[in-house]
A and B are shown apart, each in its own frame.
Chain A
Amino acid sequence: MKIIDFLNTIIADANENEINDFLSVKEASIIAEIHKLWNEYKQNPVSGTAENQGDILVRKGEKEALAGNIDTGREVNNTGSDKDNIEKQLGTDDLKEPVNINEAEDIPLDIKINDASTIIIDMGIIQGGVKQEYNQKTREAAINKAFNKQIQSIHISLPNAKVNQEYNVEFDFEKLGIPEIGEIEFEGLGEIGLEYAAEEKRIKGMPTTAGDHKIKLLIKRKNWENGKRIFECNIILIINPDPRLLWNSIPTLTSISYYKPDSAEQFLEAGLNKVKFGKKCIVAASQRGRSHAHEGKPRDDDFAMFFDEQTGWYIMTVADGAGSAQFSRRGSQIACETVIEVCRVQLTAQDKDFDKHIENFYKEKEPKITEKRKMVGDSLYTIIGAAAFKAYKNIEKEAAGNNNPIKDYSTTLIISICKKFKFGWFVGAFWVGDGGIGIYDHKIQFLKVLGESDGGEYAGQTRFLTMPEVMQPNEIYRRLRFDIVKEDFTSVILMTDGITDPKFDTDANLNKIEKWNDLWADLSSEVNFDARNDETAGQLLKWLDFWSPGNHDDRTIAILY
Chain B
Amino acid sequence: MRRLPVYLLLDTSGSMMGEPIEAVKNGVQVLISTLRQDPYALETAYLSVITFDSSARQVVPLTELSAFQMPDIQATGTTSLGEGLTLLANKVTAEVTKTTADVKGDWKPLVFIMTDGGPTDNWKKGLIDFQKQKFGMVVACAAGQAADVNVLKQITEVVVQLDTADSTTIKAFFKWVSASVSTGSKKIEDSGKDIAGISELPPPPPEVNIVV
Contacts and interface: CB of A to CB of B under 8 A. Distances in A.
Contact of B101 (A160, A247, A506): A506
A401 interface: no
Interface in B1-45: 1-3, 33, 36-40, 42-44
Interface stretch (A471-479, A522-530, A548-556): A548-556
Contact of A505 (B40, B44, B104): B104
Nearest to A551: B1
A341 B128 CA distance: 60
Interface stretch (A11-19, A224-232, A384-392, A454-462): A454-462
B66 interface: yes
A80 interface: no
Shortest 8 CB-CB distances between A and B: which pairs? A246-B39, A508-B101, A240-B66, A549-B43, A550-B1, A550-B44, A550-B43, A323-B190
Interface of B: 1-3, 33, 36-40, 42-44, 65-69, 72, 99-104, 186, 189-194
Interface string A288-328: 00110010000000000000000000000000000110000
A243 B190 CA distance: 18
B1 A462 contact: no
Mostly, the A contact residues are: loop
A509 interface: yes
Given A241-B42, A550-B189, 8 more contacts: A243-B43, A246-B38, A323-B192, A324-B191, A506-B101, A548-B1, A549-B43, A552-B189
Mostly, the B contact residues are: loop
Contacts of B36: 210, 238, 240-241
Contacts of A157: 69
A462 B33 CA distance: 35
28 contacts: A159-B69, A160-B66, A160-B68, A160-B69, A162-B66, A212-B33, A238-B36, A238-B69, A241-B36, A243-B42, A246-B37, A247-B39, A291-B186, A291-B189, A323-B192, A324-B190, A324-B191, A457-B99, A460-B194, A462-B192, A506-B99, A506-B104, A508-B101, A548-B1, A549-B43, A550-B1, A550-B189, A551-B1
A254 B193 CA distance: 30
A238 B66 CA distance: 9
A78 B148 CA distance: 56
A155 interface: yes
Contacts of A159: 67, 69
A506 B67 contact: no
B43 to A, nearest CB: 4
Given A549-B1, A552-B189, A509 B102 contact: yes
B204 to A, nearest CB: 23
A294 B193 contact: no
Nearest to A292: B190
Given A549-B43, A550-B1, A291 B190 contact: yes
Interface in A499-532: 505-509
Contacts of B192: 323, 460, 462
A506 B191 contact: no
Given A291-B190, A549-B1, A240 B42 contact: yes
A550 B69 contact: no
A553 B2 CA distance: 14
Contacts of A552: 189
B191 A323 contact: yes
B1 A241 contact: no
Q: Which of A155, A246, A247 has the most CB of B within 10 A?
A: A246
Contacts of A551: 1
Contact of B67 (A155, A160, A241, A553): A160
A256 B103 CA distance: 39
